[in-house]
Amino acid sequence: MPAHVAVIMDGNGRWARARGLPRVAGHRAGAEAVRRTIRAAISHGVRWLTLYAFSAENWRRSPAEVLDLTGLLRHYLKNEIAALAAEGVRLSVIGEPGRFAADIQADLAAAERLTAGNERLNLTIALSYGARAEIVAAARAAAAAAAAGRLDPQQLDEERFGRFLATAAMPDPDLIVRTSGEQRLSNFLLWQAAYSELVFLDVLWPDFAETDFSAALAEYRRRERRFGARPG
Ligand code: IPE
Ligand code: IPE
Ligand code: MG
Protein backbone atom coordinates (compact mmCIF):
# COMPACT_ATOMS: atom_id res chain seq x y z
CA MET A 1 0.00 0.00 0.00
CA PRO A 2 1.45 3.41 -0.88
CA ALA A 3 1.87 5.64 2.18
CA HIS A 4 1.40 8.78 0.11
CA VAL A 5 -0.85 9.14 -2.93
CA ALA A 6 -0.89 12.44 -4.85
CA VAL A 7 -3.53 13.23 -7.46
CA ILE A 8 -3.53 15.65 -10.38
CA MET A 9 -7.28 16.18 -10.69
CA ASP A 10 -7.70 16.96 -14.39
CA GLY A 11 -10.51 16.90 -16.93
CA ASN A 12 -13.30 18.99 -15.41
CA GLY A 13 -13.60 21.20 -18.47
CA ARG A 14 -13.76 18.29 -20.91
CA TRP A 15 -16.34 16.55 -18.72
CA ALA A 16 -18.57 19.65 -18.89
CA ARG A 17 -18.03 20.17 -22.62
CA ALA A 18 -19.04 16.58 -23.35
CA ARG A 19 -22.37 17.36 -21.67
CA GLY A 20 -22.88 20.76 -23.26
CA LEU A 21 -22.48 22.39 -19.85
CA PRO A 22 -20.40 25.40 -18.78
CA ARG A 23 -16.92 24.60 -17.40
CA VAL A 24 -18.01 25.54 -13.90
CA ALA A 25 -20.40 22.55 -13.91
CA GLY A 26 -17.34 20.35 -14.37
CA HIS A 27 -15.56 22.00 -11.46
CA ARG A 28 -18.66 21.56 -9.31
CA ALA A 29 -18.84 17.86 -10.19
CA GLY A 30 -15.10 17.67 -9.53
CA ALA A 31 -15.70 18.73 -5.93
CA GLU A 32 -17.88 15.62 -5.50
CA ALA A 33 -14.99 13.51 -6.77
CA VAL A 34 -12.79 15.09 -4.09
CA ARG A 35 -15.19 13.85 -1.42
CA ARG A 36 -15.21 10.34 -2.91
CA THR A 37 -11.41 10.30 -3.11
CA ILE A 38 -10.94 11.31 0.52
CA ARG A 39 -13.33 8.54 1.57
CA ALA A 40 -11.50 6.04 -0.65
CA ALA A 41 -8.11 7.00 0.78
CA ILE A 42 -9.40 6.56 4.32
CA SER A 43 -11.02 3.21 3.56
CA HIS A 44 -7.82 1.90 1.93
CA GLY A 45 -5.71 3.04 4.86
CA VAL A 46 -3.66 5.52 2.82
CA ARG A 47 -2.07 7.90 5.36
CA TRP A 48 -1.13 10.80 3.09
CA LEU A 49 -3.25 12.20 0.27
CA THR A 50 -2.20 15.28 -1.69
CA LEU A 51 -4.61 16.88 -4.17
CA TYR A 52 -3.53 19.33 -6.87
CA ALA A 53 -6.52 21.68 -6.84
CA PHE A 54 -5.15 24.89 -8.41
CA SER A 55 -1.78 25.46 -10.02
CA ALA A 56 0.24 28.67 -9.91
CA GLU A 57 -0.34 28.76 -13.68
CA ASN A 58 -4.12 28.39 -13.37
CA TRP A 59 -4.32 32.15 -12.59
CA ARG A 60 -3.83 32.53 -16.36
CA ARG A 61 -7.35 31.23 -17.02
CA SER A 62 -10.15 33.67 -17.80
CA PRO A 63 -11.15 35.94 -14.90
CA ALA A 64 -14.60 34.33 -14.97
CA GLU A 65 -13.20 30.81 -14.56
CA VAL A 66 -10.80 31.93 -11.80
CA LEU A 67 -13.78 33.49 -10.03
CA ASP A 68 -15.76 30.23 -10.39
CA LEU A 69 -12.86 28.18 -9.04
CA THR A 70 -12.18 30.43 -6.07
CA GLY A 71 -15.91 30.62 -5.37
CA LEU A 72 -16.10 26.83 -5.26
CA LEU A 73 -13.07 26.70 -2.97
CA ARG A 74 -14.76 29.18 -0.63
CA HIS A 75 -17.98 27.14 -0.67
CA TYR A 76 -16.07 23.89 -0.08
CA LEU A 77 -14.20 25.32 2.92
CA LYS A 78 -17.36 26.68 4.52
CA ASN A 79 -19.27 23.42 4.07
CA GLU A 80 -16.79 20.55 4.31
CA ILE A 81 -14.24 21.35 6.99
CA ALA A 82 -16.36 20.28 9.94
CA ALA A 83 -17.06 16.91 8.31
CA LEU A 84 -13.38 16.41 7.45
CA ALA A 85 -12.40 17.25 11.02
CA ALA A 86 -14.95 14.74 12.35
CA GLU A 87 -13.53 12.03 10.08
CA GLY A 88 -10.05 12.48 11.53
CA VAL A 89 -8.58 14.32 8.56
CA ARG A 90 -5.67 16.67 9.13
CA LEU A 91 -5.69 19.39 6.49
CA SER A 92 -2.60 21.24 5.26
CA VAL A 93 -2.06 23.61 2.36
CA ILE A 94 0.97 23.95 0.10
CA GLY A 95 1.40 26.64 -2.53
CA GLU A 96 0.61 30.31 -2.24
CA PRO A 97 -2.61 30.60 -0.20
CA GLY A 98 -1.76 34.31 0.20
CA ARG A 99 -2.86 34.88 -3.41
CA PHE A 100 -6.48 34.04 -2.55
CA ALA A 101 -9.06 36.40 -1.02
CA ALA A 102 -8.65 37.24 2.67
CA ASP A 103 -11.69 35.22 3.80
CA ILE A 104 -10.41 32.12 1.99
CA GLN A 105 -6.99 32.55 3.59
CA ALA A 106 -8.65 32.86 6.99
CA ASP A 107 -10.77 29.73 6.42
CA LEU A 108 -7.73 27.75 5.28
CA ALA A 109 -5.74 28.80 8.35
CA ALA A 110 -8.69 28.00 10.62
CA ALA A 111 -9.10 24.57 9.00
CA GLU A 112 -5.41 23.81 9.51
CA ARG A 113 -5.66 24.82 13.16
CA LEU A 114 -8.91 22.91 13.75
CA THR A 115 -7.60 19.67 12.29
CA ALA A 116 -3.97 19.88 13.47
CA GLY A 117 -4.42 17.09 16.02
CA ASN A 118 -6.00 14.58 13.62
CA GLU A 119 -4.10 11.52 12.48
CA ARG A 120 -6.28 9.31 10.30
CA LEU A 121 -5.49 10.97 6.98
CA ASN A 122 -3.01 13.75 6.22
CA LEU A 123 -4.80 15.64 3.46
CA THR A 124 -2.72 18.26 1.67
CA ILE A 125 -4.35 20.60 -0.82
CA ALA A 126 -2.05 22.26 -3.36
CA LEU A 127 -3.42 25.76 -4.00
CA SER A 128 -1.72 28.20 -6.32
CA TYR A 129 1.04 25.61 -6.19
CA GLY A 130 3.98 25.46 -8.56
CA ALA A 131 6.91 23.13 -7.97
CA ARG A 132 9.52 25.43 -9.50
CA ALA A 133 8.37 28.32 -7.33
CA GLU A 134 8.51 26.00 -4.29
CA ILE A 135 12.08 24.97 -5.14
CA VAL A 136 13.18 28.57 -5.72
CA ALA A 137 11.63 29.60 -2.38
CA ALA A 138 13.52 26.78 -0.67
CA ALA A 139 16.78 27.85 -2.34
CA ARG A 140 16.16 31.41 -1.22
CA ALA A 141 15.52 30.28 2.37
CA ALA A 142 18.65 28.13 2.35
CA ALA A 143 20.72 31.01 0.98
CA ALA A 144 19.33 33.34 3.66
CA ALA A 145 20.17 30.79 6.36
CA ALA A 146 23.70 30.53 4.99
CA ALA A 147 24.09 34.32 4.81
CA ALA A 148 22.92 34.55 8.44
CA GLY A 149 25.48 31.95 9.49
CA ARG A 150 22.85 29.36 10.41
CA LEU A 151 23.74 26.98 7.59
CA ASP A 152 27.11 25.82 6.31
CA PRO A 153 26.76 25.57 2.50
CA GLN A 154 29.04 22.53 2.58
CA GLN A 155 26.52 20.79 4.82
CA LEU A 156 23.58 21.36 2.48
CA ASP A 157 22.53 17.98 1.13
CA GLU A 158 19.28 16.58 -0.29
CA GLU A 159 17.83 15.81 3.11
CA ARG A 160 18.57 19.26 4.53
CA PHE A 161 17.37 21.00 1.37
CA GLY A 162 14.11 19.04 1.60
CA ARG A 163 13.48 20.64 4.97
CA PHE A 164 13.18 24.03 3.27
CA LEU A 165 10.41 22.78 0.97
CA ALA A 166 6.70 23.17 1.72
CA THR A 167 6.52 19.38 1.93
CA ALA A 168 9.18 19.06 4.66
CA ALA A 169 6.77 17.30 7.01
CA MET A 170 5.53 14.66 4.54
CA PRO A 171 7.01 11.61 2.85
CA ASP A 172 7.59 11.79 -0.91
CA PRO A 173 4.58 10.54 -2.90
CA ASP A 174 4.83 6.83 -3.66
CA LEU A 175 2.15 7.14 -6.31
CA ILE A 176 1.06 10.08 -8.45
CA VAL A 177 -2.22 9.64 -10.32
CA ARG A 178 -3.34 11.95 -13.11
CA THR A 179 -6.79 11.72 -14.60
CA SER A 180 -8.06 12.86 -18.03
CA GLY A 181 -5.49 11.01 -20.13
CA GLU A 182 -2.88 13.80 -20.08
CA GLN A 183 0.57 12.43 -19.32
CA ARG A 184 2.54 15.23 -17.69
CA LEU A 185 3.23 16.64 -14.23
CA SER A 186 2.26 20.27 -14.99
CA ASN A 187 4.69 21.66 -12.39
CA PHE A 188 3.48 19.38 -9.56
CA LEU A 189 5.90 18.08 -6.88
CA LEU A 190 8.89 18.00 -9.25
CA TRP A 191 11.46 17.49 -6.48
CA GLN A 192 9.35 15.01 -4.53
CA ALA A 193 8.38 12.93 -7.61
CA ALA A 194 11.96 11.75 -8.23
CA TYR A 195 11.00 8.10 -7.67
CA SER A 196 7.20 8.23 -7.58
CA GLU A 197 5.27 5.71 -9.63
CA LEU A 198 3.11 7.53 -12.19
CA VAL A 199 -0.33 6.25 -13.14
CA PHE A 200 -2.31 7.98 -15.88
CA LEU A 201 -6.01 7.18 -16.08
CA ASP A 202 -8.33 7.89 -18.98
CA VAL A 203 -11.21 8.84 -16.68
CA LEU A 204 -12.16 12.54 -16.41
CA TRP A 205 -11.87 13.87 -12.86
CA PRO A 206 -15.63 14.38 -12.19
CA ASP A 207 -16.15 10.68 -13.07
CA PHE A 208 -13.36 9.52 -10.74
CA ALA A 209 -14.82 6.80 -8.52
CA GLU A 210 -13.67 4.60 -5.67
CA THR A 211 -13.08 1.84 -8.24
CA ASP A 212 -10.64 4.12 -10.10
CA PHE A 213 -8.77 4.76 -6.86
CA SER A 214 -8.60 0.98 -6.26
CA ALA A 215 -7.44 0.42 -9.85
CA ALA A 216 -4.61 2.94 -9.41
CA LEU A 217 -3.55 1.19 -6.19
CA ALA A 218 -3.65 -2.17 -7.97
CA GLU A 219 -1.47 -0.79 -10.77
CA TYR A 220 0.95 0.58 -8.15
CA ARG A 221 1.23 -2.86 -6.56
CA ARG A 222 2.17 -4.37 -9.94
CA ARG A 223 5.09 -1.96 -10.30
CA GLU A 224 8.58 -2.92 -9.23
CA ARG A 225 10.26 0.00 -7.48
CA ARG A 226 14.02 -0.05 -7.86
CA PHE A 227 15.32 3.39 -6.83
CA GLY A 228 18.25 2.78 -9.16
CA ALA A 229 19.64 0.05 -6.95
CA ARG A 230 18.82 -3.10 -8.88
CA PRO A 231 20.07 -3.86 -12.40
CA GLY A 232 17.44 -5.11 -14.85
C1 IPE B 1 -8.96 20.42 -13.64
O2 IPE B 1 -9.78 20.41 -14.76
C3 IPE B 1 -9.29 21.55 -12.69
C4 IPE B 1 -8.24 22.58 -12.62
C5 IPE B 1 -7.10 22.56 -13.28
C6 IPE B 1 -8.47 23.71 -11.74
P7 IPE B 1 -9.53 21.38 -16.00
O8 IPE B 1 -10.26 22.65 -15.77
O9 IPE B 1 -8.09 21.52 -16.27
O10 IPE B 1 -10.25 20.56 -17.16
P11 IPE B 1 -9.76 20.34 -18.64
O12 IPE B 1 -8.32 19.89 -18.59
O13 IPE B 1 -9.90 21.65 -19.35
O14 IPE B 1 -10.66 19.28 -19.18
C1 IPE C 1 -2.97 20.74 -13.72
O2 IPE C 1 -4.00 20.74 -14.66
C3 IPE C 1 -3.36 21.53 -12.51
C4 IPE C 1 -4.43 20.96 -11.71
C5 IPE C 1 -4.99 19.79 -11.90
C6 IPE C 1 -4.85 21.75 -10.60
P7 IPE C 1 -4.02 21.77 -15.88
O8 IPE C 1 -5.21 21.41 -16.68
O9 IPE C 1 -3.91 23.15 -15.39
O10 IPE C 1 -2.66 21.39 -16.64
P11 IPE C 1 -2.24 21.59 -18.15
O12 IPE C 1 -2.42 23.04 -18.48
O13 IPE C 1 -3.14 20.70 -18.98
O14 IPE C 1 -0.81 21.13 -18.20
MG1 MG D 1 -6.76 20.52 -17.43
pLDDT at 5 over 80: yes
**pLDDT higher than 80, residue 137:** yes
Q: What is the pLDDT of residue 103?
A: 98
Residue of 37, 61, 183, 186 best suited for mutating to test ligand 2, as the one with most atoms within 8 Å of CB: 186
Taking all residues of the chain, what is their mean pLDDT, rounded to a whole number? 98
Provide the residue type at 79 as one letter: N
Reduce the DSSP state of residue 224 to 3 states and report it.
Answer: coil
CATH code at position 60 = 3.40.1180.10
Task: Check pocket membership of 61 for ligand 1, CB cut-off 6 A.
Answer: no
Helical residues (DSSP H) of the chain, grouped into ranges: 12-18, 23-44, 63-86, 102-115, 131-147, 158-162, 210-222
Whether 122 is catalytic: no
Does residue 231 fall inside a structural domain? no
Nearest C-alpha neighbor of 172 from the set 149, 189, 151, 154: 189
Q: Is the CB of 54 under 6 A from ligand 1?
A: yes
Q: Examine residue 181 and state whether it is found in any structural domain, yes or no.
A: yes
Residues 158-173: pLDDT tens digits?
Answer: 999 999 999 999 999 9
Whether residue 232 is contained in a domain is answered as: no
Separation of alpha carbons 148 and 210, rounded Å: 49
pLDDT of residue 232: 65
Q: Which atom of ligand 1 lies closest to the CA of 16?
A: 14
230: pLDDT confidence band, cut at 50, 70 and 90?
confident
Per the CB < 8 A criterion, the answer to whether 84 and 112 are in contact is no
Residue nearest to atom 13 of ligand 1 (CA): 13
In a domain, 228, yes or no: no
Q: Give catalytic status of residue 58 as yes or no.
A: yes
Domain count, the chain: 1
Flag whether 135 is in a domain: yes
Q: Which domain, by its residues, includes 120?
A: 4-222
The mean pLDDT value for 93-106 works out to: 98
Residue 54 Cβ inside 6 Å of ligand 2? The answer reads: yes
Q: What is the pLDDT of residue 231?
A: 76
Residue 136 domain-assigned (yes or no): yes
In a domain, 28, yes or no: yes
Atom of ligand 2 nearest to the CA of 57: 9
For range 99-126, the mean pLDDT? 98
pTM reported for the whole predicted model: 0.98
160 inside domain: yes
Separation in Å, CA 70 to CA 92, 100, 207? 17, 8, 21
Q: Say which of 10, 68, 172, 212 is annotated catalytic.
A: 10
pLDDT at 84 over 70: yes
8 A C-beta contact, residue 131 and residue 191: yes
